[in-house]
Amino acid sequence: MMALYLSGIRNSERIASGNVELAWLTEGTAVAILIAAICGLVLQLGVLWQRRFGVRTSSYVVFVFLAAATMIALRIIIGDVNSAVLDDFPTVLWAVLRIAIAMFLVLIITGRADAKLASQVQQTQSALDLSRAQQDVLLRGDEFTRRQISGALHDRVQARLIAACLELQMVDVNQADETQRTVEATIAQLEEIRAVDVRRVARALSPRLNEVDLESALDELALQYEPGMKSTITVDSTLENKETRPSANVLLGAYRIIEQALLNSAGHGAARLCEIDVRVDDGALELTVKDDGRGFASAPDMTGFGSTLMTTWSHSLGGSWTWKSGRSTGVVVEASLPL
């Protein structure tokens, strides 16, 4: 724009006489482009000045007039304008005013565009910050609830089961052998529920991944779905190295994503076999959960709590997750979590 404007100035007499042809656009264009490039550099210095010291109207006015004077000086230096023009002060002043007005118009247009863009960026950033805050609240609330339930199962439910076993043991059944056997079998079942099932559910609700390795936690998680669904688990050995072990938060995120994938495989896919693979690749924890279930005839609803939880965990860790149908049957869930 500046080069075209300067080309017009250089050919102002021809334009004033009405002799407007395409040829005049190319005459002196190289000189105009050179001047425009230098003025563009001056404008860039002005932008840097603004970023460093802020926006002041007085600074803009002084800068624009100095830039206009610099353009005229450049034209005199390269011989594009006769230095004798300096003796005609009104002409020089009018030239400075014309250039300054043109620069002001450019600055106003670009300034309004920059202000609008800055406002949109700020609104987007505010929305993004709010979304991240909501994600953190969701995850913290979910983990808090899980810990509360886990503690209740571990302490209160186990205590009640122990009390029930003690009461059954105190029943006088000396005269009935069959009743004795029934009571003993009931006590054994209650003890298995207390010692195995309740503890397993409690640990699944709140896995202590800072104390237990991920593979062991996943093994115990997969046991909940047996014998209906068998699971094979492969975990990268580098995850157990103290120097390369990911943070507990990354491991917990991986655990929660795999947990939801297993739940979907068993509940929605009616899968009989599930393959879990956890590996480290190019600075990220790569998760793959593949089942042999019935898959999806069409795209599933991704607004449920499980999908939302997987999305929230992956986004909160700066990663992503996706799903795809298997080659023949089943579903493959993949997630990537930066280390």
Cα angle value 283/316/250 (rounded, 5°): 45
SS3 of residue 220 by DSSP: helix
Mean pLDDT by 10 residues, the chain (339 residues): 65 65 62 74 77 72 77 72 76 80 77 81 81 72 70 61 66 61 70 64 71 84 84 86 80 89 85 92 90 77 76 88 80 91
Q: What are the DSSP E strand ranges found in the chain?
A: 230-235, 273-281, 284-291, 320-325, 331-338
Return the pLDDT at 154: 60
Tell me: cis bond preceding 227? Omega within 30 of 0 counts.
Answer: yes
Q: Which residues of 148-174 are buried (b: 16+ CB within 10 A; e: fewer)?
A: eebeebbeebbeebeeebeeeeeeeee
pLDDT of residue 51: 75
The predicted structure's pLDDT at residue 176: 61
Alpha carbon 234 to its chain centroid, in Å, reads: 27
Q: Specify the DSSP element, H or E, that contains 248.
A: helix 248-267
The domains found in the chain, sorted by start residue, are 2-127 (no CATH), 209-338 (3.30.565.10)
Whether the model pTM is above 0.75: no
What pLDDT score was predicted for residue 45?
79
Question: In Å, how far are 211, 274, 317, 324, 328 from 287, measured between CA atoms?
Answer: 21, 13, 14, 14, 21
Taking the C-alpha atoms of residue 90 and residue 96, their distance in angstroms, rounded to an integer, is 10
Q: State the pLDDT at residue 279.
A: 92
Contact (Cβ atoms closer than 8 angstroms) between residue 269 and residue 331: yes
